[in-house]
Amino acid sequence: MKANLTIILIAVLGLFITSCKETTSSEPSASPEQVFTIAIHGGAGAMPKGTYTPEQEAAFHAKLKEAAQLGYEMLSRGDSAVDVVQAVICMLEDSPLFNAGKGSVFTKEGKIQMDAAIMNGRTLDCGSVNNIQRVQNPIKVARMVMDSSKYIMFSGEGAEQFAQLNNIPQADASYFYTQHQYERWKGMKDSTEGKYIRYVDSVMALQNIPTVLNNIEEKFGTVGCVVKDKYGNLAAGTSTGGLMNKKFNRIGDSPIIGAGTYASNNTCAISCTGTGEDFIKTVAAKTVADLMEFKGLTLEAATNELIHVRFKEIKGDGGLIAIDKNGNVSFQYNSDGMFRAKVDDKGNITTYIYNE
């Protein structure tokens, strides 16, 4: 009898253990792998084909391709969309080719003031900094604000103190001072508001041409990245040195969530470049997302509506890059060109400069 009872108890215990194992193994795992995509921009503006020499064009294409390749390799191994956005933008900030990080332009007072923002489309968490001067990679501070703070936006000295407390690398002011941007600033700093002289926000563009460029609209060298990772999550980030010769600590759209930067898994991820005031007026990035969510527009239709219809109404200028939740990519701009690149989950990288 005791032997039979022992057998029964062992059998019941075995069923209990099996049940526990089944319960553990049935817990939800990570989302299944999906098609991943990345898109990058390095600024938009009036730069008709022929603005740059073949050597200059090659330099832009090479840096955009390098950044896209980095993003592809990270996505391939399963890195998150947010991590990829940060890494790609850091690479662009470290290049003097663009108006962000090392290649940033000068303010009216001859200072460097940089803005950046990043947003996680899965959680809607976001972080932003503006008018910082001594942080080597502003996008890292924006990410830290998002991950390690109950706030969303830090400004100026406060943002730099936060960066220092979190051991984010800082740099001496001389790190950001490129000779080409300095020469541009010298030629512009005493100009009046009404004088029609614009500049090309690109160090490379100034190597073989005069500092003052008459009748050439400004090229906005802001950098940005939007990503859909293999788990279906979206993220967006933007970084800029702002406008050359800006006054009164002006802040553009790049660090403003919903204007120059936005991401939501429900719709899309967007990074904008152009005249910041125009993107702020139209709450551009969020407007695109809302057109998709509430009016049922496709990504292409929504971005086209923003840049080619609503911007036309306010005489706005600039462009944007976007990725939707299905991995579709859209490049929209109303200028002669936009430095841009994209790469798909097969590793096919395409880079562009002009309207092509």
Residues labelled as active-site residues: 222
d(CA 29, CA 38) in angstroms, rounded, equals 24
Q: How far is residue 28 from each of residues 36, 78, 81, 137, 162, measured CA to CA in Å?
A: 21, 18, 21, 37, 37
d(CA 85, CA 89) in angstroms, rounded, equals 6
Token couple for 86: 């940060």
Say if CB 67 and CB 297 are below 8 A apart: no
d(CA 125, CA 196) in angstroms, rounded, equals 41
Say if CB 104 and CB 112 are below 8 A apart: yes
E strand or H helix at 318 = strand 318-324
Token couple for 97: 């080719």
Token couple for 254: 């790049």
- The phi and psi torsions of 350 (rounded to 5 degrees) equal -130, 130
d(CA 56, CA 192) in angstroms, rounded, equals 31
Give which of 287, 271, 289 is closest to 225, Cα–Cα. Answer: 271
The angle, 0 to 180 degrees and rounded to 10, between the axes of the packed helices 138-148 and 156-165 is 70
Q: What is the CA radius of gyration of the chain?
A: 24
